[in-house]
Structures are given as structure tokens and as C-alpha cells.
Amino acid sequence: MSTTTTGPTGVGDRVHPATPSASADSALIPAYLGGTQPLTRTPVVGTPSTSLAPMFVPGAESVNPGEIRVTVLGSGDPWIRRSQASGSLLIEVGNPEKDFFFFDLGSGSLANFTALMLPVEATTKVFLSHLHADHIGDIPGLVGSLAKSGRIDPIEIWGGGNEDPDLGLASFVKHMGKVMAWDRASLQGVRPTSGFDMVGYEIPYDRPEVVYERNGVTVSCFPAIHGLNGAVGYAVEYAGLKVVFSGDTRPCKHVVEAAEGADLLIHECFQSPAVFAAVTGLPLETALQITSLAHTIPVQMGKILDMTRPRMGALWHLDVTPGTDAVFEEVHASYTGPVAVSQDLKVFNVTKEAVVARQAQVNDAAPPVHGTSHTEP
């Protein structure tokens, strides 16, 4: 028997009996403080066609055909902390190839990736929203350490260009190769080193464009407003489903356009300036500058969600604190639909039938898992 819940948002959602529900007492405890529930009052939108365990356990569920699974590998920011890895998403699709893609790879995100028990050989596709350190900090580990773990196929990296070639993705990839030269040379004659190879695809920063089409998956980029030209967001489409990732951006019409018909919109959101100053220790003036010049705050987020109306919206890049609940009130001033706050190892199962948010229950000491390669060692 299914039940219907109506949360404080006024949104009534069909809840499958075996799927998680938002308990008023436990739902909003951050995972790093022992919380086991996703940070949302609406963890289930629609009616899942299959039963899902209350928590996602890596290795226990494959991505089904026609499904996209999104796992937040890093939900934090430049303040490197154990509570939240820096920015990164992992998007898996249910095609026969079981493709998965990194979107950004901030510090600490690879530790969360390893805990998902996916094959290191397949860590070959990275889409970067921009080149701030909190979105690229684990790239050297991906190149060097995961090559040591067993990846022998080259890595493909997509990212925005810039009017100044020195600031574009191609320059980043070229110099990253040089940075890793000592690591690579040290393995000569000991381990295959082809996993250190990188192929960079510099993509437009000033217009939407399809940048990837393989195995039933399409990835498009679109301009974001953040720092310098070169910041982009992405839309991933597979099996009639669409997941949109804003990257870092001020409120931006390109995100709104890309998010039309999105099943899941993961949009960056910082706290309002006063809260941001309090949780980071920054002066209020600096917090005001950061949030107004380069980012989106909750009241704006509510308006963006109201314009785009995804099946589920997720705030990302937000300092998760025990008082994070206040963010929902700010968002709900403009929008009362399903919305979640991202934290590390939050998992979204996206299907035609439902969008479900859960937390993952992982083994912190999980060893690397192995799959197949296309390159001969």
C-alpha cells in the first residue's frame, strides 16, 4: 500500500512503501553529524517502479536501463573540510556501457568516488564547469593515483575556453600533463603510464552547444556567469531524462533555458550574505561581494526554481550546517516545489516514474574496484 505525504511545502508526493520518507525529527541532520536521511522535506517525487532501500548501498543496486543516477561527490567549497568535499558530481546512466561522468572534481571528491565501488578503469570522462581550485583539486589524483590504481585508458576533459588562450581548458590540460611528468616518469617500466594521457576539449563559453554524443547520452554546455569567461554549466540527456548542472553562476538566463523540462536541476547556491559570513568567518562586506558578484543566494534560487520547475531541485555548493533548514524557508518564499540541499554522498535516482533522494551508506575503507579497459597496456 502506498501512502501520500504532504510536507510543509504543501507538495503531496506518492511515497513508495520501501522508499525513504522525510521524518521531521531526523531528516535534516547533516550526514557528517550522523544523519542518515537526505536533506530535504520531499525525498520522493512520483512513484518509483521498484523498491529502493532506505539508504543507497554501493554495489547493491545497478543503474537500470532508462535511469540516471546522480551522486554528489563533493558539496562543499574552497574551505577544505572533512564535513564536505569540494565541488563534484558523478552522473551514471543505465546504458549497456554503464557510462559514468565526473562533473567537476574538487578536493576530497575522489575519496567519495572510491567508496561507490565503481571501476577505476572507467574514470575517463570529466566535464569541468570552470577552473577554480575547489572544482579541480582532485584532478592530479585522478591522473596519477588512479593510473596507479589501474586506469590505462586516457582521460578526456571538457571545459570552457577564454579570449586569453592561457586561461582556457586546453592550456590547463597541457600544463597539467607537465605537472604530472615526475609522477609519470617514476612509473616507467613498472606500471602502464597511458592512463596519464589527457585529451582536452575546449568548449564555447558564450553559447549553448552539444559537446558530447555517445552511447545514447548527450551532454550540452551553456554559459554561466562566474568570475571570468570560461565558466559553463551542463545538461545531460539520456533516455528522455534530463539532468542540469549549473556549475558556479550568478542567476543566469542560460541556466533557466537549459533547465526547461529538467527532471533534476542541481544549481549552485550559497547562503545569504549574513549566514555565509557567520559560517565562514569572513567579514560581512567580503561575504556580500562573493555572493553578489559570483554566486546565487536562496531567495534568488527560489525564483529560478519557480521559473524552471524541475521535478526536483537541488541546492549545491552550500555550507551544510545544523541550521541549514533556514534555507528552505528562504527558497519557499518564491517556490514550494520539491527541493533538496546537497551534501556529500547524496544520491538521486532519476527515472520516468520518480525522482528519489537518499543518502549513501559507504565503507570508508573500500578498496579500488576493477573493470575493463580499451587500451592495451
Q: Where does this chain bind Zn ion (CB under 5 A)?
A: 132, 134, 248
Render 44-59 in DSSP notation, one character per residue: EEE--SS---SSB-TT
Min separation Cβ 247 and Zn ion, Å: 8
Decide whether 172 or 238 has the Cβ nearer to Zn ion.
172
Q: Give the shortest CB-200-to-Zn ion separation in angstroms.
A: 19
Q: Which is nearer to Zn ion, 247 or 310 (CB)?
A: 247
Q: Which is nearer to Zn ion, 124 or 291 (CB)?
A: 291
- Which residues lie closer than 8 Å to 77 by C-beta, 6 or more apart? 84, 86, 87, 134, 270, 317, 319
Q: Report in angstroms how near the CB of residue 106 gets to Zn ion at its nearest.
A: 8
Cα separation, 121 vs 198, in Å, equals: 14
Alpha carbon of residue 116 to chain centroid: 14
Q: What residues contact 220, with CB distance under 8 A and at least 6 apart?
A: 208, 209, 210, 211, 234, 235, 237, 258
CB of 249 to Zn ion, least distance (A): 9
Give the residue from 195, 157, 160, 191 showing the smallest Cα distance to 174. 157
Cβ closest to Zn ion, residue 134 vs residue 344: 134
Alpha helices (runs of H) in 161-212, residue ranges in sequence order = 169-179, 181-186
Judged by beta carbon, residue 48 or residue 74, the one nearer Zn ion is 74
Q: Label residues 195-219 b or e (16+ Cβ within 10 Å = b).
A: bbbbebbbbbbeebeebbeeeebeb
Q: What is the chain's length?
A: 377
Residue 124 or 342 with smaller CB distance to Zn ion: 342
Smallest distance, Å, CB 353 to Zn ion?
33
**Which contiguous run of DSSP H or E holds residue 16?**
none
Indicate the residue among 134 and 202 with the shorter CB distance to Zn ion. 134
Q: Are 124 and 98 in contact (CB under 8 A)?
A: no
Minimum CB separation of residue 221 from Zn ion in Å reads 16
Closest distance between Zn ion and the C-beta of residue 273, in Å?
Answer: 16
Q: How far is residue 157's CA from residue 103's CA, in Å, rounded to a whole number?
A: 10
Nearest distance, CB of residue 342 and Zn ion, angstroms: 13
The pairing of strands 339-341 and 312-316 is: parallel
Helix (H) or strand (E) holding 102: strand 100-103
Residue among 237 and 248 whose Cβ is closer to Zn ion: 248
